[in-house]
Amino acid sequence: MTETENETKIRIPRQERSIKTKEAILQAAMELFSEKGYHGTNTKEIAAAAGVSTGSFYSYYKDKRAVFLDSLTIYFKTLLGRIETYLAEINFSTMDKHEFILEVIDSLIFSHQVFTEFHKELQVMYHSDPEVQALMDEQFDLGRRRTLEYLLMNPDELKVDHVEAASIIVFEALNSVVDMLVFAPQNADADQLKNELAKMIVNYLYK
């Protein structure tokens, strides 16, 4: 079967059963990508883990890469969703800023740890697959915009000269340290690193 022939057979699930089948395939793929990495996983394994035939897999996804791109979207939505859920519960007028930053750091660490191998694979694919790179860049840009939106909630408390530039610095600092804590553990105590990062961000941002 050629790629073009396969594309015409891709099913768009509309009934509950079909939707659940596609969700099962996606969940199985994410777990396998996390455990074995993208290149260590094949479509037959994904189908078996989802409890469907290989033929059924190909009725929902053109290939492994297609389900990986869907998985990547879900990964970022889950990560951002955790942060936004926490933000929705915060009283910004009474919050302890240091504790707030620590919560954000812990949420990022948890989300990364759930799919450790999946995240590692992204670092490789970012430089080898333009579509993955574009999707990741889009999500990173969204994360920076969300950081900016958060900072603009209380602009009078800020001491930075350029809020937009500050939002990028804070976003990148958080991501860099979280990546280090999850994927390249250091000799330093993790709690100490988190506390120092939170202290640095609070002292940098606020009066």
134-178 residue pLDDT tens: 988 998 898 899 899 889 988 999 999 999 999 999 999 999 999
Please determine, for residue 98, whether its predicted confidence score (pLDDT) is greater than 90: yes
- Name, in order, each residue with C-beta under 8 angstroms of 151's C-beta and a sequence gap of 6 or more: 158, 163, 166, 167, 170, 205
pLDDT level of residue 187 (50, 70, 90 thresholds): confident
Are 197 and 177 in contact by the 8 Å Cβ rule? The answer is yes
What is the C-alpha to C-alpha distance for residues 121 and 111, in angstroms, rounded to an integer? 15
Structure tokens at 97: 């800023």
pLDDT at 1 over 50: no
Residues 55-93 pLDDT 10s: 999 999 999 999 989 988 887 787 777 777 777 777 766
Q: What's the predicted TM-score (pTM) here?
A: 0.75
Whether the predicted pLDDT of 6 surpasses 70:
no
